[in-house]
Structure 1
């Protein structure tokens, strides 16, 4: 299959017809079609639209932009666990695939790719002429090294291994024999043991930054990359600086990297501090704007952007801790919660109510199984039946402008149902040390293009980000089945069963899907908010 309008993946043609018939929206089509290897321009053409133009021609060359963002401890890229880390290394570590605000997957270090009809074979075509900033060429050996490393389950903290199940030999915990084939210096073929429709979306996710063959460790300590910038300083909790690399000829220099210098300023999680810095002229853009601060930043004249997102908060128990190993206790907590109240109090109503199963209506495979039940009386009855009505629940959260008030609101609802709850609030520097181990806490989860992606990361048995301790063989089996189904409608039939298991088992209370916002000075371009909070530094600049 090629990428011309005359010869595209047959599924993409069927999806385009669904758009024409009014049974599929434009964003869902773009995500599905481009993941199958259809170029963005062809995908837009199939639905009678033109690909949006970038503003590169309207950007000044030079200047410094200061970005408010937490500066967290740098890690080896496959172990990245927050977008903030990747946003800094994105200056010189690039990605095979880029995921845009409108749901399109497009090639960066890949020129393009092809996917066979049952998603068991992926042919990756590398962009030619790309150089590492040490003067060596970027080749298929670099890609093969990264994919092999992503599949290494023995690597401590490797967040990519849970995303690469279709490539891994379960017996060895490493990439299976025959999966990866280097055809030539610019072509790599993946031959999967079973279908997997998440491969391309995964290659755009923030832990998939491409490092040089043989690299491991912190990219700040050894900043070899293909991108246009280089790090100058990096101080956790304080700030970080990068500047244009004068010794490197970047492959896309005609289309980006206008700035001379980019500074990240860590002001903590209190948005009032961000506002004060903005009014004092100390920062130029935010990482994100939350709650009632959206209106406040509007009032000072900063430009607002909003992204459709499956970003969410979950209030979860860890089933490895009593009494949360009892399904009656978990279900009781969910029954005592009115999610709409948590959305209004915790996030100023800026989002949509969620349904306690972590699959969003914007995910192609979402199944509508109806809203969760709100029944405080039944919650109390179940707690009595479990013999823990007098148990004191400690609900832990980070101290910030939205996760804290959402958790406060849940605690109030649980108390109204006759349950005993205390609140523990930690600063970010403390909270994130043990975020996956707390018996009862709240955690935010980022947007991912497919519902099966977050379910695999967060709830599959034994995965490092499984903060709930959920271990359910039926769930795991159905999730593997869903991940192998290329057709989203067929996948949604399996997803309905998965979503019901999540709710029946009381795995999470998920109050809302939140709209995500970012504010910046009006003279900045390329700073629009992204569903996964990515900051594409090469698009940033000042308006000409």
Structure 2
């Protein structure tokens, strides 16, 4: 980061290259101006958030809460902008016993916002918050192979697993699993006390959150440049866009792709597009008729015009999907699979194999699912009609969508931010019986491969397993994943941003509050 080099070092470096003192001074001044500056209140308009949101990290399920949690909480590990794993509250970790044992060493000097030191006991309680028979946490399946977690001395935490897991340190970066303040072995998430770069001063679910820099954070040289931040929930796309253009917001996410070219013409704004793991989907519950029939599910997959959705919903800011959640840039993406395309004849063929000449179904959607979800459902209706499939799009309210519609109704529009490694994505949403398996799909072979691939340390063997898992899910699962969407967000020109954005979530991995600054 430019701020790591002081003015004297910069001058020496420039003079060593033969530049004159005057020129070096000028360049140094420009470098100083471009370096992250401290100060100001950063205002974000987020296209997510609902009145049912809580500060319980285990049940958070939308981009608003991901951004908020990562702003005031600290995590053992973090996903860096280049997709690698970076140290967080833990300064190091090592595998033992073939990856069945992981030992994390905590960073000294990390404190909670009330001044208390972060201890191994806090980590143990934070992890156990997501375990147990009565846990409703979305992180529960990620920790299902964990047999024991214990404190070992004043700075060490030991995790014992049923089998080896080469990706376990990535699990600890999941936004559901922050290091929380504990008392008597339990974490009280309602206090809003974290150990992140910002304090949580105010939280009004579905409305706003107010944050201020925590002056004793361990890494203030590299983050938390804003004095404070306001994260505002504005699910209405027009209102969010208007607030951005008028300067009420310094940054917004989920830009209206229909008008993004016009927005670019406004002075003082910049639009950013970042390809990543985000995918927009339609999910069928495989336990509810008619979706119990695998042939009917295939008929619906062949009846959608993927390229049309990329062109008309994403306006080119994305790529077609192949009915699984692994992105083209990920390590074990199956590049050998045939790309499914729009084919009404094949759709009708599988419909007949399901014993049907035609079928009528409802598809529930809202902009809370993704911008343009209702329009996407209408396009799907038109393409599916040519195969004898009658889809009726049903617009439902944005507020409460993630509690009353998704994972409740049998056919819904959904967005997923993806996960940095394949195991986390599959374990979160497609393993049999996990809370966020909205399709209720269950496949014995898939589950076997998931466990085996997690423990396999040889890269090529893991690749073969993940390839097969993508094929199984694409051909048998209840997921229709027609498109991978780039993250498209906007910043006012006074907002300074790094050269590289993280692509694991929107807005720089949903860490814009701690990574960006006012220039």
TM-score (normalised: structure 2) = 0.85
Please name the residue that 1:436 is paired with.
407
How many Å separate the matches in 2 of 1:279 and 1:536? 19
After superposition, the C-alpha distances for 1:494-530 in whole angstroms (9 at most, x for unaligned) are 1222222223315222112221122101121247564
Please name the residue that 1:370 is paired with.
338
Structure 2, unmatched stretches of 5+, are 1-30
How many Å separate the matches in 2 of 1:535 and 1:144? 25
Relative to 1, partners in 2 of residues 1:374 and 1:488: Cα closer, same or farther, differing over 3 Å?
farther
How many Å separate the matches in 1 of 2:186 and 2:235? 29
Q: Give the total of aligned pairs.
A: 475
- Cα deviation, residue 67, structure 1: 0.3
Relative to 1, partners in 2 of residues 1:265 and 1:218: Cα closer, same or farther, differing over 3 Å?
farther
Identify the match of residue 65 of structure 1 among 16, 26, 42.
Answer: 42
How many Å separate the matches in 1 of 2:326 and 2:371? 25
Relative to 1, partners in 2 of residues 1:56 and 1:406: Cα closer, same or farther, differing over 3 Å?
farther
After superposition, the C-alpha distances for 1:206-246 in whole angstroms (9 at most, x for unaligned) are 11121012386774x4122223432333223322222235x
Please name the residue that 2:221 is paired with.
254
How many Å separate the matches in 2 of 1:150 and 1:483? 20
- Cα deviation, residue 283, structure 1: 0.7
Q: Does 1:205 align with 2:178?
A: no
1:499-510 aligned within 5 A:
499-510=470-481
Q: Does 1:406 align with 2:358?
A: no
Please name the residue that 1:267 is paired with.
234
Q: Does 1:419 align with 2:384?
A: no
Please name the residue that 2:426 is paired with.
455
Q: Does 1:538 align with 2:509?
A: no
- Cα deviation, residue 394, structure 1: 0.4
Relative to 1, partners in 2 of residues 1:193 and 1:387: Cα closer, same or farther, differing over 3 Å?
closer
Identify the match of residue 470 of structure 1 among 436, 441, 444.
Answer: 441
How many Å separate the matches in 2 of 1:378 and 1:197? 40
Q: Is the contact made by 2:276 and 2:486 (CA closer than 8 Å) also made in structure 1?
A: yes
Q: Is the contact made by 1:112 and 1:124 (CA closer than 8 Å) also made in structure 2?
A: yes
CA RMSD of aligned residues (A): 2.4
- Cα deviation, residue 538, structure 1: 2.4
TM-score (normalised: structure 1) = 0.82
SS in structure 1 of the partner of residue 395 of structure 2: strand
How many Å separate the matches in 2 of 1:365 and 1:379? 29
How many Å separate the matches in 1 of 2:467 and 2:515? 39
Q: Is the contact made by 2:279 and 2:415 (CA closer than 8 Å) also made in structure 1?
A: yes
SS in structure 2 of the partner of residue 328 of structure 1: helix
Identify the match of residue 394 of structure 1 among 362, 373, 392.
Answer: 362
Relative to 1, partners in 2 of residues 1:392 and 1:359: Cα closer, same or farther, differing over 3 Å?
same
Identify the match of residue 317 of structure 1 among 281, 284, 302.
Answer: 284
How many Å separate the matches in 2 of 1:122 and 1:56? 43
- After TM superposition, the runs of 4+ consecutive aligned structure 1 residues lying more than 6 A away are 54-57, 215-218
How many Å separate the matches in 1 of 2:486 and 2:450? 27
Relative to 1, partners in 2 of residues 1:235 and 1:223: Cα closer, same or farther, differing over 3 Å?
closer
Please name the residue that 1:161 is paired with.
140
- Cα deviation, residue 86, structure 1: 3.1
- Cα deviation, residue 106, structure 1: 0.7
After superposition, the C-alpha distances for 1:361-402 in whole angstroms (9 at most, x for unaligned) are 222122222212543123223323434434311011113533
Q: Does 1:124 align with 2:131?
A: no
After superposition, the C-alpha distances for 1:302-354 in whole angstroms (9 at most, x for unaligned) are 12333331110121211121111111211111122232222112211211221
Q: Is the contact made by 1:290 and 1:516 (CA closer than 8 Å) also made in structure 2?
A: no
How many Å separate the matches in 2 of 1:357 and 1:223? 36
- Cα deviation, residue 276, structure 1: 1.1
After superposition, the C-alpha distances for 1:403-430 in whole angstroms (9 at most, x for unaligned) are 2222222121111222212110112214
After superposition, the C-alpha distances for 1:31-60 in whole angstroms (9 at most, x for unaligned) are xxxxxxxxxxxxxxxxxxxxxxx9998233
Question: Which sits farther off after the overlay, 298-307 or 137-146?
Answer: 298-307
How many Å separate the matches in 2 of 1:451 and 1:365? 7
Relative to 1, partners in 2 of residues 1:56 and 1:354: Cα closer, same or farther, differing over 3 Å?
farther
Relative to 1, partners in 2 of residues 1:408 and 1:56: Cα closer, same or farther, differing over 3 Å?
farther
- Cα deviation, residue 476, structure 1: 0.9
Q: Is the contact made by 1:259 and 1:541 (CA closer than 8 Å) also made in structure 2?
A: yes
How many Å separate the matches in 2 of 1:228 and 1:56? 23
Please name the residue that 1:101 is paired with.
81
After superposition, the C-alpha distances for 1:168-187 in whole angstroms (9 at most, x for unaligned) are xxxxxxxx2xx334222111
Q: Is the contact made by 1:81 and 1:207 (CA closer than 8 Å) also made in structure 2?
A: no
Q: Is the contact made by 2:83 and 2:502 (CA closer than 8 Å) also made in structure 1?
A: no
How many Å separate the matches in 1 of 2:78 and 2:454? 21
- Cα deviation, residue 109, structure 1: 0.6
Question: Which sits farther off after the overlay, 321-330 or 67-76?
Answer: 67-76
Relative to 1, partners in 2 of residues 1:239 and 1:413: Cα closer, same or farther, differing over 3 Å?
same
Relative to 1, partners in 2 of residues 1:390 and 1:74: Cα closer, same or farther, differing over 3 Å?
same
After superposition, the C-alpha distances for 1:146-204 in whole angstroms (9 at most, x for unaligned) are 2222333421x21111111221xxxxxxxx2xx33422211122232211123111211
Question: Which sits farther off after the overlay, 487-496 or 326-335?
Answer: 487-496
Relative to 1, partners in 2 of residues 1:234 and 1:135: Cα closer, same or farther, differing over 3 Å?
closer
Structure 1, unmatched stretches of 5+, are 1-53, 168-175
- Cα deviation, residue 444, structure 1: 0.6
Please name the residue that 1:342 is paired with.
309
Please name the residue that 2:490 is paired with.
519
How many Å separate the matches in 2 of 1:102 and 1:306? 16
Q: Is the contact made by 1:130 and 1:226 (CA closer than 8 Å) also made in structure 2?
A: yes
After superposition, the C-alpha distances for 1:452-472 in whole angstroms (9 at most, x for unaligned) are 221221111111001111011
